Structures are given as structure tokens and as C-alpha cells.
């Protein structure tokens, strides 16, 4: 996670300004919900962002219940980073990723849940 001051130093002035504003809002409201965490610790809660495997080419992104899954190829399309409400599988083999996506999207899985 790149902090606002580093963003500014690296020339990302608009993003830095936006992050500074987000930091101020977080500081003002964090005591109610965030406790002692700063904004960046909260955004990366339990390492859910920085712990993602970004080395594998193929991704399957899915939710936890009433499963709906989708497939991403990092080399051919843009892809999201998974947030705490979504789960992510990373694969080096395209067929494995497609297989998991098909299984997760099946009615059998939803009935089992």
C-alpha cells in the first residue's frame, strides 16, 4: 500500500490529494468503527490486499455464498483486486481456473451451500 506522501513524492499529485482527504475523513470517523487502525491498515485488513498472489496469470473471483464466479486472464484484460467481500483463486493453468469457475457457478454448489 502506497501512502499519500509517497504518492506525492512519486508525482501522483491528484491521487495523493485524494488519499490525504480519505485519511482526514478516516481520522475523523475511525474511532466509531476502525479502532486504532489507520486508513491503510483498514484497507489492507488482515492482509486481504497485500496477501493476494499476483504472480499467477489466471484468476477466479467469487463471492462466499450463492456463489457466482468469473474468470480473468491478467495478460488479456484488466482485472480487479479482491476485496474482503470476495474470494480469489490464482492459477498458472488456464484449464484449472476455468474448471473452478464452472464448478462454482454450478447449481450443485449453490444447493450444497
pLDDT tens sequence across 62-103: 776 677 888 888 787 666 555 555 667 788 898 998 888 888
In terms of domains, do 89 and 107 share one?
Answer: yes
84 and 55 share a domain?
A: yes
pTM over 0.75: no
Instruction: Based on the fold, state whether residues 102 and 60 are members of the same structural domain.
Output: yes
| Mean of pLDDT values over 30-55 | 75
The Cα angle at residue 39 between residues 35 and 51, in degrees rounded to 5: 105
Q: Do 97 and 55 sit in the same domain of this protein?
A: yes
Q: Which domain holds residue 28?
A: 4-43
Nearest alpha-carbon partner for 59 in 73, 47, 49, 48: 73
Residues 101 and 62 in one domain: yes
* Shared-domain flag, residues 106 and 80: yes
Q: Pick the range with the lowest mean pLDDT from 18-22, 59-63, 83-87.
A: 83-87
C-alpha cell at 55: 504472480
- Domain count of the chain? 2
Rounded Cα distance between 56 and 61, Å, is 13
Mean pLDDT over each residue of the chain, to the nearest integer: 80
Q: Are residues 60 and 108 in the same domain?
A: yes
Alpha-carbon span 109 to 30, nearest angstrom: 38
Amino acid at each position: 500500500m502506497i501512502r499519500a506522501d509517497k504518492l506525492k513524492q512519486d508525482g501522483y499529485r491528484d491521487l495523493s490529494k485524494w488519499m490525504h482527504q480519505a485519511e482526514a475523513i478516516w481520522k475523523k470517523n475511525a474511532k466509531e468503527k476502525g479502532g486504532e487502525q489507520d486508513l491503510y491498515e483498514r484497507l489492507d485488513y488482515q492482509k486481504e490486499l497485500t496477501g493476494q498472489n499476483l504472480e499467477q496469470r489466471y484468476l477466479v473471483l467469487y463471492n462466499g455464498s450463492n456463489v457466482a464466479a468469473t474468470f480473468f486472464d491478467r495478460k488479456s484484460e484488466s482485472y480487479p483486486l479482491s476485496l474482503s467481500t470476495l474470494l480469489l483463486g490464482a492459477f498458472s493453468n488456464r484449464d484449472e481456473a476455468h474448471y473452478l469457475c464452472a464448478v462454482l457457478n454450478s447449481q450443485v454448489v449453490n444447493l450444497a451451500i
